[in-house]
Amino acid sequence: MVRKIRSKNAGPFWLTLDIFCFDVENFNLIHSQLKTNKVANLFQIHESKLKRFDIPDLNVIKFSFPRPRIQGKAIDTDMHGASYAALLEELEMN
């Protein structure tokens, strides 16, 4: 359904997750099934802190939210924000 799911830093205070769909058909399917509140629950953040960007011209859905820890702090276990993609990859669609 998707070509790639990627997560990365969007500066030291924010993370961004990108879902690259193969085509418009898969984009529309994921767009209709992937609810913002479900993603907020997955990352244990309040829905109001999660920003969603649907980009149909590129078949991409993007989410951005504040990092749970500032990048580079001693307690930061993911300097680049890359591990968040794995959680989204495992999310079941219904």
Tens digits of per-residue pLDDT, 10-31? 878 899 999 999 999 999 999 9
Q: What is the value of pTM for the model shown?
A: 0.87
Rounded-to-integer distance, Cα 45 and Cα 15, Å? 12
Given pLDDT bands bounded at 50, 70 and 90, which one contains residue 94?
A: low
pLDDT: is 1 or 41 the higher one? 41
Give the pLDDT score at 4: 93
**pLDDT tens by residue, 52-70:** 999 999 999 999 999 877 7
What amino acid is encoded at 18 in this protein?
D
Specify whether the CB–CB gap between 61 and 34 falls below 8 A. Answer: yes
Place of tokens 């418009």: 24
* For residues 46-53, average pLDDT: 96
Predicted confidence at residue 87, as pLDDT, reads 85
